[in-house]
Copies of this chain bind each other. A is one copy, B any other.
Amino acid sequence: MSEEKNLVPTLGLAASDTTGKMIKHKFFRRAIGANDIHIQISYSGICHSDIHTGKGEWGPKEYPLVVGHEIIGNVVAVGSSVSKFKVGDVAGVGCFLDSCRSCTECKEGDEQYCTGPGGFTGTYGSKRDESLHPGGQTHGGYSKDIVIDENYALSVPANLNCPAGTPLLCAGITCYSPFVHYGLKKGMTLGVVGLGGLGHMAVKIGLAMGCNIVVFSTSPGKEPEAKAMGPEGAVKFVVSKDEGQMKAQAKSCNMIYDSVSAKHPLKPYLNCLRSSGTLIMVGGVPDKFSDIGSFDLLPRRLKVGGSCIGGIRETQEMLDFCSKHNVTCDVEVIKAEPELVDKAWDRAVKGDVKFRFVIDTAATLKE
């Protein structure tokens, strides 16, 4: 069949099983359809979700599984109906490749909350029709090539076409989307809980939005680093285990972005919100909210809200915003060798990275 003939062969680094150990893996992308673009991947970021999914911690997967949903690369071919990209453009791919396109959420540009059957098509690990995803499961960015509908690809500005721009596709939008949705404005004070991959992006994007930042961290040693992220006085540092420091910060923040995914108390952060403030949860703490209740929210109109990545239109807006303000991620670039990715995952699990690993896929992923 001619379709099959035109499948795009590629090479990836795949989790071999629930240990997450990387192996080289040859597989196929679908033939380039009328609306598709073929991207030769330059860089692929390592996100904590890769590790959870790769190890089957968020549900069983089929192996080998190629993960990675922070992707930047060069467009090397386009389908006959493609209008937004041409060969030679730089394109990005984030956390999903497609969605139902017909539910209210998709129509409103919130494809990340797609309520169609099965929700959005995750960039990796989603079971989908073989005709679109050879093998019946999507595979992500730890690979040399990807084929994607142009409507789900992002246009990457020139100054973001680098390893440091790559994590914006997940970490960047995970900050930007709730900031916009929950109404962060210039001149406001933004609290950021946890100075890791997400947290440091939140600081950078918050600063670019014209906010004052308060970093809440359990590690006093991170103070100089945090303060150095902005101009003199723009970033305060609070040791969250120090009651006195927390008390001094009472009612100071318009919004607090909580990036921590381990169990931690929330009431101290509600105390740091001004009236009508919002505590944004993005960390996916498995536990229930055991230390807050309605009497913590009512008297000052506080709210606790979740957020999850962002839609395509909003992700493009975020890239353009970060391009304009020269916001990128602090990254450590690694070669696409199985044992180096294994090591990077181990270090990421321990929080031993400043602040994100990026795999230099194009230059170093070889058979």
Contact = CB atoms under 8 A, between A and B. Distances in A.
Interface of A: 104-105, 110, 113, 115, 178, 181, 251, 274-276, 278, 281-308
Contacts of A308: 298-301
Contacts of A110: 275-276, 301
Nearest to A298: B306
Nearest to A289: B289
Nearest to A304: B304
A303 B281 CA distance: 10
Given A178-B301, A300-B306, 19 more contacts: A104-B274, A113-B299, A113-B301, A281-B297, A284-B294, A284-B298, A288-B290, A288-B291, A288-B292, A289-B289, A297-B305, A299-B306, A300-B308, A301-B305, A301-B308, A302-B306, A303-B303, A303-B306, A305-B305
Summarize A's interface: helix, strand, loop or mixed.
mixed
Nearest to A305: B303
Nearest to A303: B305
A115 B284 contact: no
A267 to B, nearest CB: 9
Contacts of A299: 113, 306, 308
A285 B113 CA distance: 30
B301 A294 contact: no
Contacts of A303: 278, 303-306
Contacts of A294: 281, 283-285, 289, 306
Nearest to A283: B294
A289 B293 contact: yes
Give the interface centre of A178, A287, A305 by most chain B CB atoms within 10 Å. Answer: A305
